[in-house]
């Protein structure tokens, strides 16, 4: 049982050899080719699907980007408009302010001038009046002897106090 | 030597059963009986020149097979039926002036006179004939099974290949639906992990052939009726031939690194290199030897276990009467079914192991060592 028979070794070798060549040529080669072809076609299909997915993703990313840009642009425009508005208001305010202060100043200058003129007129008028009054008083006073003495005396009294 | 150990083991097994309270003369009967069982088992797991199908009315019915011999007088061919079922060396067939006998499935040159048992052979102390033999290329039971498995494999796989041609998009149809997972298993789980993505294509046809060849023959051995039942893959000549093919493929494809690792191991000191070289060289041979002994031993052991369990029925019947035989029979059959189920697994595993180890050895011989 433990000694290998030369006959069976011979036939096994022959049989295996024949089987190997026949199966390699007519079975393994076409079967493995089919399997490999199928595997590669599946791989191709998967690759393509992956590629399509990536493209889709790119497209989506593009869309997103464009949307984002548009949004940013709108935002910027709104901001600009708002700034412009604020600036215009501020400018107008400034203008009005300067204008107003200018007018007030002019008014003040005019008022001042009027006031001075009025004062001058008033002064001269008062001086005339005073002279008139003084003339009348003096005339009245000096017509009476007693009163002239009395005046002199009171004046002297004042002068003595000084 | 090995057979003797085995016989002793079996003998002691049966004796240990029989010693349980039986008289001396019974034990002697048993020894006679149990030697027959051993003989029967060994006959069943060995090769034969005719294919025995069954016994009908005490006459063996068997398929005669061609006997092809390269004798001293040249080529001799005749049908095994000329021996009239004799395997005891009692029937002489005369060809080209040479007398031939069949003794236990092997052909010998016959003696001129018969011995005490009527056999024309001379036996040595271990009952092995010492007669001269010739080169025997007969189509024995095993060779018959070999050709049968060859035809079945060709039909199966050429049919599978054809099934792809019928389909569109290389989708398997018909028989290929069944064979493709097996082929892919050998490709993806045996060839690629052991040999590598790059080189496996070259060795894949060999691995596929050897895997299915061994597996199918293992299965044939498990089927207990004609035209199967031959213990081909449990025959050492068969496993030896296959392991030799693996050995040749491994070493013929061995690259520079492989031989360098055997004779001048890199990365170790010089005395160690000298010490390792013979060990590595022995390893080259022990690998295929372990391959063929493993397959032979596993498959033969499976056959022997099943046969021994069946024999138990007859053993008990002869020893303790018919009733004991009837009682033991269902137990025995249940065990046989159980072992057979395990064997179905074992035969696939053994084919797998033989193939994966072949792939491993080839992978080791062809590997690129980038790390050195």
B71 close to B53: Cβ distance less than 8 angstroms: no
Band (pLDDT 50/70/90 cuts) for residue B128 is: confident
| Predicted local confidence at residue B291, as pLDDT | 93
CB atoms A32 and B300 under 8 Å: no
B79 by DSSP, 3-state: which?
strand
pLDDT tens-digit map of B152-185 = 999 999 999 988 888 777 788 888 889 999 999 9
Q: In chain A, which residue's Cα lies nearest the Cα of B45?
A: A1
Q: Is B242 on the interface with A (CB under 8 A)?
A: yes
Q: Which of residues 29-68 of A touch B (CB under 8 A)?
A: 29-32, 34-35, 37-38, 41
What is the rounded CA–CA span in Å between residue B47 and residue A12? 14
CA distance A9 to A14: 9
Which pLDDT score, from 0 to 100, does residue B72 have? 86
Distance from CA of A18 to the nearest CA of B (A): 9
Closest Cβ opposite residue B146 in set A1, A3, A11: A11
| Chain B nearest CA to A46, separation (Å) | 15
* Helix axis angle, B270-320 to B200-222, nearest 10°: 20
Residues of A in contact with B45 (CB under 8 A): 1
Model confidence at B328: pLDDT above 70: yes
pLDDT at B80: 87
Per DSSP, B104 falls in state T
Band (B23; pLDDT cuts 50, 70, 90): very low
Task: Suggest the residue from B6, B69, B157, B201 to mutate for an interface test with chain A (most A CBs closer than 10 A).
Answer: B157
What is the model's pLDDT at position A74?
95
User: What is the distance in angstroms between the Cα of B85 and the nearest Cα belonging to chain A?
Assistant: 20
Does A93 contact B at CB distance below 8 Å? Answer: no
Q: When comparing pLDDT for B32 and B267, which is higher?
A: B267
Q: Is residue B247 very low, low, confident or very high in pLDDT (cuts 50, 70, 90)?
A: very high
pLDDT recorded at residue B371: 53
List chain A residues with pLDDT less than 70.
141, 160-162
Contacts of A19 in chain B (CB under 8 A): 150, 153-154, 209, 213
Which candidate, B227, B232, B189, B224, places its Cα nearest to that of B208? Answer: B189
Beta-carbon contacts of B303 under 8 Å, excluding residues fewer than 6 positions away, are B44, B45, B221, B231, B234
What is the model's pLDDT at position B20? 36
Nearest residue of B to residue A1 by CA position?
B46
Helix A6-23 with B236-252: angle, nearest 10 deg? 50
What is the tens place of the pLDDT at every residue in B192-214? 999 988 889 999 999 999 999 99
| Cβ distance of A8 and B187 shorter than 8 Å | no
- Tell me the average pLDDT of chain B: 85
Residue B30 in tokens: 């048993």
Show Cβ contacts of residue B354 under 8 Å, excluding neighbours closer than 6 positions: B210, B211, B214, B242, B291, B294, B295
User: What integer pLDDT is reported at residue B8 of this predicted model?
Assistant: 52
pLDDT value at position B16? 40
Predicted model pTM: 0.74
Look at residue B352 and give its three-state secondary structure.
helix
Higher pLDDT, B14 or B254: B254
Name which of B104, B44, B94 is nearest B69 in CA terms.
B94
What is the DSSP annotation of B193-259?
HHH-TTTHHHHHHHHHHHHHHHHHHHHHHHS-STT-----TTSHHHHHHHHHHHHHHHHHS--HHHH
**Touching check for B208 and chain A: CB below 8 Å?**
yes
CB–CB of B102/B109 below 8 Å? no
Cis, peptide link before residue A51, omega less than 30° from 0: no
Name the β-bridge partners of B59: B56
Beta carbons of B77 and B67 less than 8 angstroms apart: yes
The answer to whether residue B11 scores a pLDDT higher than 60 is no
| pLDDT in the model for residue B21 | 36
- Set of chain B residues whose Cβ sits within 8 Å of the Cβ of A6: 135-137, 237
Q: Closest approach of chain B CAs to the CA of A31, in angstroms?
A: 5
Q: Is B289 on the interface with A (CB under 8 A)?
A: no
Contact of A58 with B193, CB cutoff 8 Å: no
Rounded distance, CA B369 to CA B318, Å?
A: 65
Alpha carbons B250 and B287: distance in angstroms, whole number: 10
Listed in sequence order, the residues at least 6 apart from B219 whose beta carbon sits closer than 8 Å to its beta carbon are B344, B347
* Alpha carbon of B298: minimum distance to chain A alpha carbons (Å): 14
**What is the pLDDT at residue A147?**
76
* Paired residues of B75 in beta bridges: B70
Among candidate residues B282, B278, B245, B280, the one with its CA nearest the CA of residue B362: B245
Residue A4 and residue B154: Cβ atoms within 8 Å?
no
Q: Per-residue pLDDT for B26 more than 60?
A: no
Per-residue pLDDT tens for B222-244? Answer: 988 888 888 899 999 999 999 99
Task: Please check whether residue B272 is in contact with residue B261, taking contact to mean a CB–CB distance below 8 angstroms.
Answer: no
Tokens describing residue A111: 């008022």
Structure confidence by residue, pLDDT tens digits, B288-326? 999 999 999 999 999 999 999 988 888 888 888 888 888
């Amino acid at each position: 049982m433990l000694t290998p028979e030369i006959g069976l070794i011979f036939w096994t070798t022959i049989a295996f050899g024949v089987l190997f060549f026949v199966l390699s040529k007519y079975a393994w080669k076409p079967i493995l080719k089919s399997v490999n072809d199928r595997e590669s076609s599946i791989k191709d299909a998967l690759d393509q699907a992956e590629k399509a997915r990536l493209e889709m993703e790119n497209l989506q990313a593009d869309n997103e980007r464009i949307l984002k840009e548009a949004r940013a642009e709108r935002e910027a425009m709104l901001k600009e408009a708002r700034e412009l508005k604020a600036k215009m208001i501020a400018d107008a305010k400034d203008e009005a302010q300067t204008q107003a202060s200018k007018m007030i100043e002019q008014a003040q200058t005019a008022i001042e001038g009027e006031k001075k003129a009025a004062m001058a007129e008033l002064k001269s008028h008062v001086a005339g009046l005073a002279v008139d009054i003084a003339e009348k008083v003096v005339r009245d006073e000096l017509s009476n002897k007693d009163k002239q003495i009395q005046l002199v005396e009171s004046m002297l009294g004042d002068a003595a106090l000084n | 030597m090995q057979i003797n150990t085995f016989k002793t083991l079996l003998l002691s097994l049966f004796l240990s059963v029989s010693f349980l309270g039986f008289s001396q003369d019974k034990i002697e009967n048993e020894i006679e009986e149990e030697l027959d069982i051993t003989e029967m088992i060994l006959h069943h797991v060995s090769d034969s020149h005719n294919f025995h199908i069954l016994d009908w009315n005490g006459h063996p019915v068997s398929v005669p097979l061609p006997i092809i011999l390269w004798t001293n007088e040249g080529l001799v061919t005749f049908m095994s039926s000329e021996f009239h079922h004799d395997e005891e060396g009692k029937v002489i067939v005369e060809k080209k002036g040479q007398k031939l006998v069949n003794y236990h499935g092997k052909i010998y040159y016959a003696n001129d006179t018969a011995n005490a048992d009527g056999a024309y052979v001379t036996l040595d102390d271990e009952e092995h004939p010492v007669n001269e033999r010739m080169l025997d290329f007969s189509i024995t039971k095993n060779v018959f099974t070999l050709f049968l498995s060859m035809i079945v494999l060709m039909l199966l796989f050429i049919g599978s290949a054809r099934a792809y041609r019928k389909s569109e998009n290389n989708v398997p149809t018909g028989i290929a639906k069944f064979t493709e997972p097996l082929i892919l298993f050998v490709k993806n789980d045996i060839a690629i992990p052991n040999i590598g993505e790059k080189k496996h294509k070259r060795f894949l046809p060999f691995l596929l052939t050897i895997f299915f060849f061994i597996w199918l023959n293992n299965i044939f051995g498990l089927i207990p009726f004609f035209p199967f039942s031959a213990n081909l893959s449990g025959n050492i000549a068969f496993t030896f031939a296959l392991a030799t093919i693996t050995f040749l493929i491994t070493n013929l494809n061995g690259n520079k690194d492989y031989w360098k690792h055997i004779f001048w191991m890199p990365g170790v000191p010089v005395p160690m290199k000298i010490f390792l070289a013979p060990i590595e060289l022995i390893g080259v041979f022990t690998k295929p030897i372990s391959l063929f002994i493993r397959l032979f031993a596993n498959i033969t052991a499976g056959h022997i276990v099943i046969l021994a369990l069946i024999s138990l029925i007859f053993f008990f019947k002869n020893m303790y009467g018919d009733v004991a035989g009837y009682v033991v029979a269902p137990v025995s059959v249940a065990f046989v079914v159980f072992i057979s189920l395990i064997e179905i697994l074992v035969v696939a595993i053994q084919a797998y192991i033989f193939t994966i180890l072949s792939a491993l050895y080839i992978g080791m011989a062809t590997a690129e060592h980038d790390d050195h």
